[in-house]
Structure 1
Amino acid sequence: MKTIITFLLSMMGLSSAFAQELAGVFYDPRDRQEYETVILEFEIDGTNLVREWFTTNLNFEKEGSFCYKNYQEYCNSYGRLYAWTAAMDACPTGWHLSTQEEWDMLTTSYGGVQFAAAEIKEGGDSGLEIKMSGFGEQDGSYIDIGVNGYYWNTADLNAKAPGLITFHTGEEYLSSDQINQTHRNSVRCVKDY
């Protein structure tokens, strides 16, 4: 059935995506944590593009990273929250902080900004399992765990200005914004290509 849907969407000139089986498990040599990954294939303007994503939030401890309310249990369940300067180089070698272009591929392929979140969040068809991990402020306050998910992104791999993708519990839409560098948000890593 998915093949038929993909064919029909491509015939209509729309982009499509489908999740493959889990690509495997990536073992981070820095701290020996493991991350399951998923391969997503996109058709954009007649070109097939493949991206491999972590299916969980990064949980690598480094300067500028924090556990929600400083409780290790939250890091174990939701990953760490990163200040912007830490987020830019937090992903392991061979992986990078997700870019706006990569989020745009997901958004376009799963129904646009008004509907894509349902397929990208936990339980959605993409396999990405985005969590509502809240965020932190520089003053040490934390809010929104279990309610909203805030994810750093960058315009491109060399960009210095922080971007933010936001997911909301019970909502199909997502939003994309620019935000202050001092916020503490989640990181999803994408394999270099």
Structure 2
Amino acid sequence: MTKQILLFAPVLLLWACGDSSSDSVGTSPIQAAEIIPFTDSRDGQVYKTVVIGSQTWMAENLNYETKGSCCVRCAEMKTVNVNYAPGGYFTQSYCAKCAEYGGRLYTWDVATTACPSGWHLPSQDEWSTLFNAVKLGDPLAHIDTRLKSTTDWNNYGNTDDFSFSALPVGYSGISVGPYGSGDCYNHEGTGDYAYFWSSTEVDNLTAYYMYLSKYGNAAISTFDFGKSSGFSVRCVKD
């Protein structure tokens, strides 16, 4: 089994927001989001989607099984015999079915092609557009609380005003086995962080990602993680 190791990149924090306080006079009211179902024709999975500003986003993490992805939580394990020549056969367990919670985590290379037809991995600029839409003209708005789910986080006060419902599934390394997808290893940050890939590269080792934290941060960054890291994927409509 080959392990893809987390790579560490130089600090390059582009844009952070939501650290300050909130209600401003004259900002636009928050409208209740309309949830629209979308069925992925590749595997029949149904995702909630939501319109935020000028964009249509998946309101759930992608859960499409492909090589270079791993389960956040496994619903069904299977055991197989694998021939590792010249040592012979060994018994190995793997996740045969992901739990619905949190979707899957993906390496960057896989994430760039994982979204279904008509959808794509958002660019750095598209994440910035989402941040601006969520602020509703209030420069002091708490972007993080407006995007986070109201459950599972190790902090309080999240409002999920736009039904984006970001879950704190953390991040992981991904071990790639002979069955297509892999296993998560060194999984950290559950309850504290949500990480989402962007399609925008920095170089052959790093790419931009969006993250939310329990500490009140919402940012687009390249700090600490390389393309082999396992992050969540949110698809945006073409």
Normalization by structure 1: what TM-score? 0.76
CA distance in 1, matches of 2:190, 2:64: 19
Q: Whose helix proportion is higher, 1 or 2? A: 1
How many residue pairs match? The answer is: 169
The CA distance in 2 between the partners of 1:90 and 1:19, in whole Å, is: 29
The range that moved more, 76-85 or 147-156, is: 147-156
Alignment of 1:44-193 (within 5 A): 50-68=54-72, 71-72=74-75, 75-111=99-135, 115-122=142-149, 123-138=159-174, 140-155=185-200, 162-169=207-214, 171-178=215-222, 179-192=225-238
Deviation at 1:127, TM superposition (A): 1.3
Please report how far the alpha carbon of residue 72 of structure 1 lies from its aligned counterpart in structure 2 after TM superposition.
Answer: 3.5
Residues in 2 aligned to 1:19 and 1:84: alpha-carbon distance in whole angstroms: 33
Of the two, which has the highest radius of gyration?
A: 2
Consecutive unaligned residues in structure 1, runs of 5 or more:
11-15, 42-49
C-alpha RMSD over aligned residues:
2.8
Q: Which has the higher contact order (CA 8 A, sep 6+)?
A: 2
Change (3 A) 1:109 1:65: same
- The one of 34, 48, 52 equivalent to 1:21 is 34
Aligned partners of 2:71 and 2:103 also within 8 Å: yes
CA distance in 1, matches of 2:166, 2:37: 17
Aligned equivalent of 1:38, options 50, 54, 58: 50
Task: Choose 106-115 or 142-151, whichever is displaced more.
Answer: 106-115
Letter of the 1:25 counterpart: P
- How far, CA to CA, are the matches of 2:58 and 2:37 in structure 1? 9
Asked if the contact 2:105/2:232 (under 8 Å) is kept, the reply is yes
- In the TM superposition, what is the alpha-carbon distance from 1:77 to its structure 2 partner? 0.5
SS in structure 2 at match of 1:102: helix
Q: Distance in 1 between matches of 2:199 and 2:218?
A: 16
Residue ranges of structure 2 left out of the alignment (5+ in a row): 1-22, 77-97, 150-158, 176-184
Output one character per residue of 1:72-118: Cα deviation in whole Å (capped at 9) or x when no partner. 37642010000111100000000001221221122223345972111
Contact 2:52 2:134 in 1 (8 A): no
The answer on whether the counterparts of 1:107 and 1:113 sit within 8 Å (CA) in structure 2 is no
Residues 146, 162 of structure 2: 8 Å contact kept:
yes
